[in-house]
Amino acid sequence: MLVLAIDTSAVASAALLKSHGDDGRAEVLESFSSAETNTHAEVLAPAIEGILAQAGVAGADVDRIVVGVGPGPFTGLRVGIATARTLGFAWGVPVDGVASLDAVAWDAASDPAGAPRGDFTVATDARRRELYWARYAPDGGLLDGPHVSAAESLPAGPVYGRGAGLYAERLAAVGATAVEAFAGRQPHAASLGASALARLARGRELLPTTPLYLRESDAKVPAAMKPRGLAP
């Protein structure tokens, strides 16, 4: 099965994966990740076109699309989800959602240098001096979340992801420890796709493509202008 994975919860990333058998094992054929967090609309579509061309695959050959549904900022998530839905419609393939934090949890649970021995937390930057976070079992299975809050609200224990690197001192004050090797880790489509395939192999359902914003947008609809009185 060929799977196109997309995530724009932080940086823009895309990956083409091929599953092997029914055990959830996956090979990453091609992948892309931007270096910026504000160029999603410009780079995502050309990147997807590029990785398909490099793999010698047409859109009609893709069997499934999975997309990160956050949590993340409004604009970034819209770009990824809209792209996934559009391609799914054009190619006639199913589109499913995956929590973006699951990608970092997958990386942590698969870390050859030492996977977590107990429950752990994944945290990414939510701006406003807050974190998006969720709690996971040692195998990467979701236990609680996602949430958005100040660093001081996170549970004690190891914390993986860029959010941990940003607020290591504040986390330490409440007994949470930033895992140094993952202090800059962002969700990536390749890991998102791998976690989705593993979940499907276990007979578990994926999410709908509804974005997980967790809080209201900064953008506000302006109040209607009051009619001006007639001049005397």
Residues 59/88, Cβ–Cβ less than 8 Å: no
pLDDT in tens, 201-218: 999 999 999 999 997 655
70 and 26 in a single domain? The answer is yes
105 and 139 in a single domain? The answer is yes
163 and 60 in a single domain? The answer is no
Residue 227 lies in a domain: no
68 and 150 in a single domain? The answer is no
Report the candidate in 37, 66, 89, 69 with the shortest Cα–Cα distance to residue 190.
66
91 and 130 in a single domain? The answer is no
Residue 148 lies in a domain: yes
> What does the mean pLDDT of the chain come to?
92
66 and 164 in a single domain? The answer is no
Domain membership of residue 54 as a residue range: 2-100+188-201
Reported pTM: 0.90
Residue 186: other Cβ atoms inside 10 A: 20
Q: Any idea what DSSP says for residue 207? A: B
51 and 120 in a single domain? The answer is no
Residue 229 lies in a domain: no
Residues 163/149, Cβ–Cβ less than 8 Å: no
Q: How far is C-alpha 205 from the geometric centre of its chain's CA atoms?
A: 17
170 and 160 in a single domain? The answer is yes
Residue 54 lies in a domain: yes
How many domains, the chain? 2
**What whole-number distance in Å separates Cα of residue 30 and Cα of residue 3?**
11
Count of alpha carbons within 13 Å of 17, Cβ hemisphere only?
27
Residue 213 lies in a domain: no
191 Cβ neighbours under 8 A, 6+ residues apart = 103, 104, 106, 107
Residue 214 lies in a domain: no
Label residue 127 by pLDDT band (50, 70, 90). very high
